[in-house]
Amino acid sequence: MKIIIKIAFILCALIASFSCDNSDTKRVEENSIGGKWNLIESYGGYMGKLFEKGQCVWYIDREKGELIVQSNLQEQTPLLGAGTYKMNFTDSTIYRKGLKYFYKVGNNRLFLRNSVAICDKGVVIGDGGYLFERD
């Protein structure tokens, strides 16, 4: 009798463990701004540009309010230069020292755009933005 109870208990435990699904957790991670991101494209301004994976990598920690950028790009645009930046995050915006960026995360991609893009001479050239892919 004890053997039947043990087998029934083990069988119930196995069924319960296999019936758990982590798809909700995965969906939250896919739509979260936190994590490691590779810059793959810039757009707007005069023209867009494609980047190789690893040229510019962002590590975003929303809880700490930090953005760590590892970059070997020649451009030194406001958020592409290598370094650690203190950021303020909301559900759709990132703020840094008077700069405001709008973002959207979906399908393991991060779309980031400036509210206004200004070139070196102080001329407004229109919305610009960046496309990142989750690593």
Q: What would the two tokens of residue 31 be? A: 């739509």
Q: Where are the domains of the chain?
A: 2-134
List residues bridging with 43 in a β-sheet: 129
- Alpha-helical segments (H) within the chain: 2-18, 23-30
Task: Please state which of the four CATH numbers 3.30.70, 1.10.10, 3.40.50, 2.40.128 is assigned to the domain occupying 2-134.
Answer: 2.40.128
Q: Could you report the per-residue pLDDT of 44-82, keeping only the tens digit for each?
A: 765 678 889 999 999 999 999 999 999 888 765 656 688
Q: Could you report the per-residue pLDDT of 75-94, keeping only the tens digit for each?
A: 656 566 888 989 898 888 88
Q: Give the Cα separation of 15 and 4 in Å (integer).
A: 16
Q: Could you report the per-residue pLDDT of 104-130, keeping only the tens digit for each?
A: 998 899 998 876 544 444 444 556 788
